[in-house]
Amino acid sequence: MLLAAWLGHALQPTRSLANELPPIDLQTQVPRSFAQWQPDDSTVPLIPDPTLQARIDSVYSQTLARTYVNPEGERVMLTIAYGSDQSSEATAVHRPEFCYSAQGFRVRPDGVAQVSLAHGAVTVQRLVGTLGRRIEPISYWVTLDHEATLPGIHRKLAQIRYGLNGLIADGMLVRVSTLDPVTARSYAVQDRFLRDLAEAVPPHVRQRYFGS
């Protein structure tokens, strides 16, 4: 029992990568205007109810929610939640499957896709949220340190790997969505937006948002 207690203490991660890597500042590192996209206050991204928001605030260090519009009138809602400690599953509270369902949406999976970027690619989970007449196709991914991944066994193994090396990884959830029932068209708009966003985020933190 004493050995187990000692091992539990010895293997507990103590080094926080958030304190060693370039700091994340969502408000400044995600530009309000970039490429052809401008901020649009007429469409608000999904806002959690107060109870859910309180849980999100307790596990995330920063959150950002903005809507962008381009000259063609295409709108993309962007939400990013950053947490300095991603060593547990507590941050799952902000995953769209749970966040949207908690607001009354019916959420169905719509496959996994790779979005090509100028400096690589990012794998995204596609979902479709439905509430009454509102149909909202969604794409999202999560990061650990410089790794972009999806929730599940690969993320859990990465958390264990960081923990065994004594590291507390930071990370974020990046979500984009559009209000268009034609999912193929929605995803095409989202992909173009993500390519532009990847170019607009400062290079020294780009991998923290999109993975290496």
- Ranges of each domain in the chain: 2-210
pLDDT > 90 fraction of the chain, expressed in percent and rounded:
54
Answer whether residue 16 shows pLDDT above 80: no
More confident residue, 39 or 42: 39
Give just the sign of the alpha carbon dihedral 179, 180, 181, 182. Answer: negative
Answer whether residue 44 shows pLDDT above 60: yes
Instruction: Please state, in angstroms and rounded to a whole number, the distance separating the CA atoms of residues 178 and 136.
Output: 6
User: For the whole model, what pTM was predicted?
Assistant: 0.85
pLDDT given for residue 3 in this prediction: 46
pLDDT given for residue 8 in this prediction: 44
DSSP string, 26-77: HHHHS-SSBTTBEE-SSSPPP---HHHHHHHHHH-SEEEEEEEE-TT--EEE
When mean pLDDT is compared across 18-22, 27-31, 127-131, 164-168, the lowest value belongs to 18-22
CB contact at 8 A, 64 and 83: no
Phi, psi of 16 (to 5 degrees): -90, 115
Please compute the mean of the pLDDT values over residues 54-67 and round it to a whole number: 79
Task: Give 132-170 pLDDT, tens digit per residue.
Answer: 999 999 999 999 888 898 888 877 887 788 888 888 888
For residue 186, what are the β-bridge partners?
none
